[in-house]
Amino acid sequence: MTPTHRTTQLGRTGPRVFPIALGCMGMSGAYGPADENESIATLREAIERGVTLLDTADFYASGHNELLIRRAIEGQRDKVQLSVKFGAMRGPDGAFVGFDGRPSAVKNFVTYSLRRLGVDYLDVYRPARLDPNVPIEDTVGAIAELVKGGYVRNIGLSEVGAETIRRAAKVHPLSDLQIEYSLISREPEKTLFPTLAELGMSATLYGVLSRGLLTGAKAEGARLHYPRFGGEAGQSNAAAVARFHAYAAERGMTPAQLSVAWVLAKQPTFLPVVGARTRKQLLDVLGALEKPLSSDDVAAVEAILPKEAIAGPRYPEQQMKLLDSER
């Protein structure tokens, strides 16, 4: 693996990036204990292998994730692009206590992110969700002011619907939408992806391993709260995923490689974000770039694991109701 791989552009206005991004949330304990030294080593290995876009949020472990990234990228700022989400608020016990997309809050959030990351600007800045109490035009307008000030290079959105995207795009050009997408979560294909194409936007696709469901990860940490991992749904899904694992083995691929390769083949202009927490996981995922799938391969994978084979929504019911992208 070398940095000579093709690159992907985030929309008409965004940066060119390595074709796989590294999602850093899991490095701050979201899915169980994480080793800081291994996390930093994984970040540095990713940079050495050519990965450019690092995805984080100011609320991942209440700032811990940004501080971790700062240590890893020291002296290498010119080699990475930082994509940061903001808006979710947390209490001292770690509980989520609301969302704030007001212009004054936006400017406050970015100030602390810049300080924690130890950088002068962010490559992509985006609200993590839609604040139902603040017009998206106001939130994006505040980020546009940060762009003018040189603190932000590009504006993105996350988990919002087509109408919200169109309204936001009238305020300022948008680089991309961050949205969950995988072999078993394909809803964005219906409305969101056509809207992005219409507006000249890209997408950063998280959850391409379905939070580890497609790779057989244990139900621990945040996974304990996701419907697809527990009860009868968890048992049913494990059986369906086992068939996917068997097919991957037949092709000489790991489940993670097949999951990422499917996304790369299905949406070649978009960017999968993979939450590798260790160097071993990282190198496994990057191996997908060496094993591209043909259109026949894609069809075969979808026949082995059709999306309707998986039981349960991607988030708990209450969270699903709050997602603008699901409306």
Tokens of 230: 């527990």
Q: State yes or no: is 206 an active-site residue.
A: no
Residue from 31, 60, 151, 226 carrying the catalytic annotation: 60
Annotated catalytic sites, by residue?
Answer: 60
